[in-house]
A and B are shown apart, each in its own frame.
Chain A
C-alpha cells in the first residue's frame, strides 16, 4: 500500500472535528514548531523536504518562503490560495470538506515560519459550504488555544480569516487573488515586484496552495528528510490527484510521486480503468491548461519507457511528446469522446475567464473559441486549423499572466496530436455532427520518427 500523508484518516468518522483530528495526531506540528523550532528552522525543514508548490507551477515552497522580504516594522502576510477553479482539479475542495484542520494546522505552522500575524484563506465564493466548514474549524482551533493571542503560551499571536472570492478563475493567479482580496477586480499585476516583496496591501506576502500548506504538517512532524524518502528524484512526497472523466472510479487519490501512469489509470487501488469497458483515447494530465496527450503517449514516453506521475516524467519530451503535472487534475477521455468538441469547450472557458487586460489574451481566446465553434459545428475550413495554431502562438508568451499560455496550450496540443480529427471535421461536416471520429491510431504505439514533427 502506498503511504498517505494527507488523506490517511479521511475515512475516520468525525475527522472534520478538532477532537477526532487531535486523537489522530493532529496539531502535533503546531506544538513542535512553536515550542521547539525557530521560524527559520521550520523554513529549513520545508526546504529540505523538497516540497514543490501544488497549485500548478511546482515552485519549491521552502525557497519561496526564504525569499520573503522582512523589513523592520512592516507586516507580512500568508495567503492561502483556495480558489481552485482549474477545470479537472478538485482536490483542495475535497481536503477542506473532509479534513479542514489539516489546512488550519498547516496555516498556523506556515504563518509562524513566515512571521505573519494575520493570515487569510482565499476560498472561491462558490465553495460556501467549505467556507462554513473552515470558519467552524477556525473557531474550534481558537477555542483550543491554537489561534489568537499567545498561542500555547509561546507568545506567538495569529489571526486567521476566510475570504470568499466572487467567481472568477483568474483570481487563482496569485496577484489577481491579492487584488481581489483588496476588494478590487481580479486583474493580475505586472511582475516584478513579486508578492514576496510587495503583495497584500503592498506588504511582503507568500501565496501558497491549500495542498502545499497542508503538506507542511507531515514535513514538520516527521522531518524534511523523511519526506524526501517518498517520491522520485526532485518529485518528493505525495500528491493529491483529482481524477475525472471516463473512469471506473473517478475521485481524489493521494499517490506517491513516481507511480506509473498506467497503474494509476488501470489498477483497482486507483481509478480502476476506463468506464463501461471502453478504451482510453486521450488524457489531460494536469488540469485543463496543460497539453492533451493521446493514450499511447500518456502511458509511455516516446522512447517506449513507462511514463510516471512525477513532475519530470510528465513533462518528458517537452511539448512535442509530453505534458505537465500542473495542478494534478487528471482527465481521461474514452474512445467516444470528441477532441474538437472538448478543445472548443476549453477555449470557451478561457475566453470567458480572460480578465481582458491584454489584447492577445482577450482577443485571441475569443477568436479561438469562434473558430473551434465553427469547426465543431460543421462550418470549418481546412485553413482554420493552421489559423488556430497561428493565433495560439501569438498569445503564448505575450501576456501579463500565464492565463494566455494556459489558453493557447490546449489548442496547440490538440492540433499537434489530433490534427487528423480536426481535418475529418472539416471534410465530413455532416458525419461529424452524428458520430465521433473514434480512437483511430491513438492507442497504438507511435513510431518515434512520427512524433517529432512540429515544435
Chain B
C-alpha cells in the first residue's frame, strides 16, 4: 500500500521548470508523459524526496492525473516517498557482492550510523539501505549516494569509515 506522506505545498525553482521543458522536448508531440521518470529524478534531486504536493505539481505540469504519478513513483525503487538523510548510502546486497563481503559492509554501516535500514540518523545526515545489483559486481562490495549516484567500489570496513568521516565534514 502506498502511503503518500502529506506535506506543505512546494515551490519548484525556475531552473527546475526549465529542465522540465527541456526534458519534455525529447518526445514526440502528445507523448510528454514519457518525461515523467526523468522529471521525478529532477524533483527528488532538488527536494530530497517526493511528497504528495510535489507529485501533484508534476501531474499538473504534464496534464495527467496525480494517481498516474503516484503509481509510477511507488513502482520504482529509486524514488523516496518519505524524507531521507542528507546522504543515503545504498549498498548492493545481491549475490555476487555477498560473495565478496557485502553483508559485512552493511552490518558495519548499521553499527557505525546506529540506525536500522531505512531510518534516518538523529542529526538528519545519514540513512542507508540495501539495494539490488548495481552492475558493478566485479568491483564489489559497492555503494552509491544520490542524487548524482556517486559510486564507491571494492569497499571494506575501513573505506566505509573514511567515507562516512568525509561526508560528516562536508
Contacts and interface: CB of A to CB of B under 8 A. Distances in A.
Contacts of A337: 99
Nearest to B95: A345
Contacts of B161: none
A185 B135 contact: no
Contact of A166 (B76, B93, B94, B133): B76
B100 A167 contact: no
A121 B33 CA distance: 17
Q: Among A169, A185, A337, which residue has the most Cβ atoms of chain B within 10 A?
A: A185
Contacts of B31: 182, 201
Interface stretch (B3-11, B13-21, B114-122, B136-144): B136-144
B interface, over-half SS? mixed
B137 A163 contact: no
A119 to B, nearest CB: 11
Interface stretch (B35-43, B81-89, B104-112, B162-170): B35-43
Contacts of B151: 129
Nearest to B147: A128
Contact of B149 (A90, A126, A161): A126
B96 A244 contact: yes
A432 B148 CA distance: 41
A186 to B, nearest CB: 7
B34 A182 contact: yes
A173 interface: no
A4 interface: no
Given A129-B151, A288-B95, A90 B78 contact: no
A405 interface: no
Contacts of B37: 125, 163-166, 180, 183
A124 interface: yes
Given A164-B38, A186-B75, A244 B149 contact: no
B159 interface: no
A39 interface: no
Interface string A6-18: 0000000000000
Contacts of A85: 132-133, 135
Interface in B59-74: 62, 68, 71-72
A353 interface: yes
B75 A90 contact: no
A90 to B, nearest CB: 4
B24 to A, nearest CB: 11
Interface string A92-118: 110000000000000000000000001
A127 B149 contact: yes
A92 B137 CA distance: 12
Interface in A314-339: 329, 331, 333, 337
B34 A126 contact: no
A38 to B, nearest CB: 26
Contacts of B140: 244
Nearest to B132: A349
Given A125-B41, A166-B75, A245 B100 contact: yes
Interface residues of B, number: 44
B138 A185 contact: no
Contacts of B133: 85-89, 169, 288, 349
B135 A165 contact: no
Contacts of A128: 146-149
Interface in B21-63: 26, 28, 31, 33-38, 40-41, 62
A86 B72 CA distance: 22
A186 B78 CA distance: 13
A208 interface: no
B77 interface: yes
B106 to A, nearest CB: 13
B160 interface: no
A93 B136 contact: yes
A87 B76 contact: no
B47 to A, nearest CB: 16
Nearest to A251: B138
Interface in A242-291: 242-246, 250-252, 288
A43 interface: no
Contacts of B26: 159, 161, 163
Interface in A155-203: 159, 161, 163-169, 180-186, 201
B78 A126 contact: yes
Contacts of A333: 99
B134 interface: yes
A166 B99 contact: no
Of A329, A342, A345, the most chain B CB neighbours within 10 A belong to A345
Given A129-B149, A163-B37, A168-B77, A90 B137 contact: yes
14 contacts: A86-B133, A89-B133, A90-B138, A93-B135, A126-B78, A166-B72, A166-B75, A167-B131, A168-B77, A182-B31, A183-B36, A183-B37, A184-B72, A244-B96
Given A85-B132, A129-B148, 16 more contacts: A87-B132, A88-B96, A89-B137, A125-B37, A125-B41, A166-B37, A183-B72, A244-B100, A244-B140, A329-B137, A342-B98, A342-B99, A345-B95, A345-B98, A349-B94, A353-B132
